[in-house]
Amino acid sequence: MRIFEFKLKGKEKQFCRVDNAIRTSQFVRNKCLRYWIDNKDKKVNKYALNKYCVVLAAKFPFADELNSMARQSAAERAWSAISRFYDNCKKKIKGKKGFPKFKKHSRSVEYKTSGWKLSDNRKYLTITDNKGIGTFKLVGTHDLHFYNIKQIKRVRLVRRADGYYAQFAIDVDVKIETEPNKKMIGIDLGLKYFIADSNGNVEASPNFYRKSEKQLNRANRKKSKKYSKTRKQAKKPQSNNYHKARNRYARKHLRVSRQRKEYCKRLAYYVIQSNDLVAYEDLNVKGMVRNRHLAKSISDAGWSTFRDWVEYFGLKYGKVTIAVPPHNTSQDCSNCGEKVKKSLSTRTHVCPHCGFVEDRDVNAGINILKRGLSTVGHTGTYAWGDLPSWDVGVNLHSNGESVNQESPDLLDKPSISTV
């Protein structure tokens, strides 16, 4: 699958109707989840939830206004959360298994092969259900003329802080054959250096959030000053000035997240293009952010985003990506294999057994490469590009971010400095 994204240009009343469609989709999704909870003994499956959408349409007129396939997409979102919970229970993962939760602030509505129409010049999108959304102009650099309309399996309308977007999920083969360069690399992810590889190269951590933290805090204070507790207690909506300040604050956060995503994307592209085999740590980032001293720095680093892009580009260009256990990769000596205990503040690895001296992160990168070469069977975690048409909604994040949406200027590779 390939995801193309365009910004929507329309009237304010049209965007209000898009918000209405998003709320309806959220309603259907939550109702399907409630149906599954109330009928666990009857073994409700994905097809039963799709049939339940017909019952909801007959019972609620506003749900009937939404396209039938959009209702099915909402039901599939509910089933995606349910099946993920079942899989975690079968795998017996530690901690919480991720019991499905009811959505409160959805930001997208998804149509399948009906409920929308493209103009002949592919520059205008019309939503044809009974919500009365109408026609939008598509603003973007992608060209949809290269693909047949039948190849577009999903169209998603997304609301973000800076406007509304349309995402087109196109059924194409993203795999590209490349010539092997007979190189391999082990990557250690860190906070001082974003990556340090087994060849001794490092890339400094960009710290996008840290650099923008003062502006974010200032915008947050301005937003808080306009918040009225009296209106809240009286159950009245906040003032327009408050909502304007809240939107300015959200746009600043959106800018930081886009900077981080683009950086991880470019660096992952460079790593995959330069090597035939890439080994990296299988980090439990969700558990690591529980450390209250390092949570902000770990979240700012974007390790999970980088890993997602490495695995996607690895599948696309036919490269091997291997996730290895991170235990003791920084403690073991990459030269003799003996364990040399060191604290986080110790940045240089000095082995008392063989006298080997190396940067702590580079030593870990060498150990990761060695473990990757000895690992058989685990090549990444996600089957990128090999999704059935109904599972495209899983490939798109719930907030509308598309992980496999590539940049048109991706060939501008980042430079990796040497130690």
Distance (Å, rounded) from C-alpha 318 to C-alpha 81? 30
pLDDT one digit per residue (tens) for the chain, 419 residues: 889 999 999 999 999 999 999 999 999 999 999 999 998 878 888 999 999 999 999 999 999 999 999 999 999 999 999 999 999 999 888 788 889 999 999 999 999 999 999 999 999 999 999 999 999 999 998 989 888 899 999 999 999 999 999 999 999 888 888 888 889 999 999 888 898 888 888 898 999 999 999 999 999 999 999 999 999 999 999 999 999 999 999 999 999 999 999 999 999 999 999 999 999 988 888 888 888 888 999 999 999 999 999 999 999 998 989 888 888 888 888 888 788 888 887 888 888 888 888 888 888 888 888 888 887 544 444 444 433 333 444 445 544 555 555 655 554 444 454 43
For the domain 184-208+246-384, what is the CATH code? Answer: 3.30.420
Burial class (CB in 10 A: 0-12, 13-18, 19+), 167: buried
Q: Packing angle between helix 240-274 and helix 208-225, nearest 10 degrees?
A: 170
The reported pTM is: 0.83
Is the distance from CB of 371 to CB of 188 less than 8 angstroms? no
- For the chain, what are the domain ranges? 2-170, 184-208+246-384
